[in-house]
Structure 1
Amino acid sequence: MRRLLLLSAFALLLAFRAPAAEQTVDLATGEWPPYVSQQLPAQGAFTEIVREAFRRAGYRVQLTFQSWPQTEWLTKTGKAAAAFPYRPTPERERDFDFSAPLMRANSYLFYHKPHLPHPPQQFKSLDELRGYRIAIQLGYWYIPMFQQHRLNTLLTPDEVNALRQLQLGHMDLVPMVLERGLYLIHNSMPEHEKEFGYISTPMDKDTPLGLMFSRNYPQAERIREDFGRALAQMEKDGSLKAIYQRHFPEATPPR
């Protein structure tokens, strides 16, 4: 009887010492290379940071790629704990909670060096760009700003088409997030990569990109807090910056 009691006590002690099983967390995202893509190593820099932070927090990530409207719907209805990458806006903050930024994005004006050998490297106001032809895409954040400053714009189907318009000399400038612009040039026209540059004056201040958390997912607040602590640890020990620089060695300054 005594031996049975000792064995039972030993088994109970082992149970308390056994590590807790990882909890699965459901996340949603979409294609936005080079930040997130099923075709990229580690599915992109943003995805690698997200997975590492959740791993440190004791979670296993279950990730689904969807269209961006579907991604937002899954998160709002509580079928996903969070979606990424998203920038906080007043409209979104009415329905979601946001993590601290994983990255900060800036948009720059790209140009084709042979057709614009002397671009305006520094400008204090967009009014100074009225003499340039600027390619834009429907729905982007900068359109109202360009309209306010009465810039000469032309709608193009997508950013790759806009870059080709630069190369042909049909347009002078195209606004793009820095890392995305460099990625598209490298992948869509690698033989002409050195022909492109970007104006050093950013069009916007650092835009935070983070996780957009559901308010309807089970234990969403605890998951968000666990993720936040792990992310802060990654920033403190330098691993957040290291992942960024490994994916974007050519992007300066690093964010």
Structure 2
Amino acid sequence: MQPLTGIVITLNEQANIADCVRSLSRVCDEVIVVDSLSGDDTVAIAEAEGARVIAQAYLGDGPQKAHGVPFAKNDWILALDADERLDDDAVALIESLALDDPQTAYSFRRKNYVARHWIRAAGFYPDSVVRLYNRTTAGYLPKKAHSSVEAPKVEATAAHLRHFTYEDMSHWIRRIDALSSRDAWAMKERGVRPSRLQPTLHAINAMLRKLLFKGGLFQGMDGMTVALTTAFHAYMKYAKLNELYELEQLPQR
């Protein structure tokens, strides 16, 4: 196996960062944390776990995840979110890879959890994401919301990441609030215009996609929960986009 650099971006992740750094350290010989000026103990905890911390005000999802790459001493990058962990099968797979083709990136299947409950409904599993790539040929797209790795080739693996997405249902709602605000800002940055129809249309589309095309209608409470929360997220990010434009028009006090 080639040497790896683990990279994770953080903002107030003191509850997650220690376990994330430890997980990366199972296969990486260095870990870099790009911190968005956290106000909690994220930085101190990361450094105590042996990570190198780089402070950087938030640039948007893709640019922030790309920011730490030039600081890495290795070309092979393993990127995790702070709430993701390598499952044992992912560790075994990575250790078995020769990593002799820089053109190939590797995707993993995420197990998404709410507390201890693994949600498999309505597209929440296998939820494949590219996390291992060579920086000479691949990297995160410069999208400010929901970026992903672009690579010449992607090998889909059956290995898993555990994604501790939400602490509980209340945390799920709080995350939708935070992420929809970030998404609205990113859309405005790239020139998406306001519309009174967009919030409703996107919410209906999200609901139908999850209930019908992803099978949530037949997957019990989990399917309905995923459909409703996805629709709510879609509605709120477009409603907040409208709000951002409205606030620009208000006279200064």
Q: Tell me whether the two structures share a fold, i.e. TM-score over 0.5.
A: no
Q: Which has the higher strand share?
A: 2
Per chain length, whose mean CA-contact separation is higher, i.e. which structure has more relative contact order (CA < 8 Å, sep 6+)?
Answer: 1
Q: Give the TM-score taking structure 2 as reference length.
A: 0.27
Structure number with larger C-alpha Rg:
1
